[in-house]
Chains A and B, each alone.
Chain A
Amino acid sequence: MSMSAPSGGSSLNNDMNVTPMIDVLLVLLIIFMMIIPMSRKAIDTQLPDPTPQPPSTQVNPDQIVLEVLPDDKYAVNKEPIEKAMLLEKLKAIYDPRPEKIIFVKGDTTVKYSAVIWAMDQARGAGVKVIGVPPK
Chain B
Amino acid sequence: MGMTVSGGGVKAEPNVTPMIDVMLVLLIIFMITIPQINAGFTAVPPEGQNLKPHPEEEGDQVLGIDDQGRYYLNKNRIRNEDLEALVGEIYLKEREDYIMYVKAHKDLEYVKVVDALDRISRSGVRVAALITDQTPNTESLVQSDRIMPGSK
List the interface of chain A (C-beta within 8 A of B): 6, 12-13, 17, 19-20, 23-24, 27-28, 30-31, 34, 38-50, 68, 106-117, 119-121, 123-124, 126, 132, 134-135
A117 touches B48 (CB 8 A): yes
New A-B pairs, 9, CB < 8 Å, besides A19-B18, A40-B56: A39-B53, A41-B131, A41-B134, A42-B132, A44-B99, A108-B111, A113-B46, A134-B114, A135-B118
A47 touches B46 (CB 8 A): no
Nearest A residue to B135 via CB reads A120
30 contacts between A and B (CB under 8 A): A23-B18, A23-B22, A39-B53, A40-B56, A41-B131, A42-B51, A43-B130, A44-B99, A45-B127, A45-B130, A46-B127, A47-B125, A47-B127, A48-B121, A50-B121, A106-B111, A108-B111, A109-B111, A110-B110, A111-B108, A111-B109, A112-B107, A112-B109, A113-B47, A115-B110, A119-B48, A120-B51, A123-B142, A134-B121, A135-B115
A47 touches B128 (CB 8 A): yes
B126 touches A111 (CB 8 A): no
List chain A residues, Cβ under 8 A from B56: 38-40
B148 within 8 A of A: yes
A112 touches B105 (CB 8 A): yes
B130 touches A116 (CB 8 A): yes
Selected contact of A132 from candidates B33, B105, B117, CB within 8 Å: B117
B54 touches A68 (CB 8 A): no
B131 touches A112 (CB 8 A): no
B86 within 8 A of A: no
Q: How far is the CB of A27 from chain B (nearest CB, A)?
A: 4
B29 touches A31 (CB 8 A): yes
A41 touches B132 (CB 8 A): yes
List chain B residues, Cβ under 8 A from A19: 15, 18
B35 within 8 A of A: no
B55 touches A40 (CB 8 A): yes
Among A108, A111, A113: residue with most chain B CB under 10 A: A113
B131 touches A42 (CB 8 A): yes
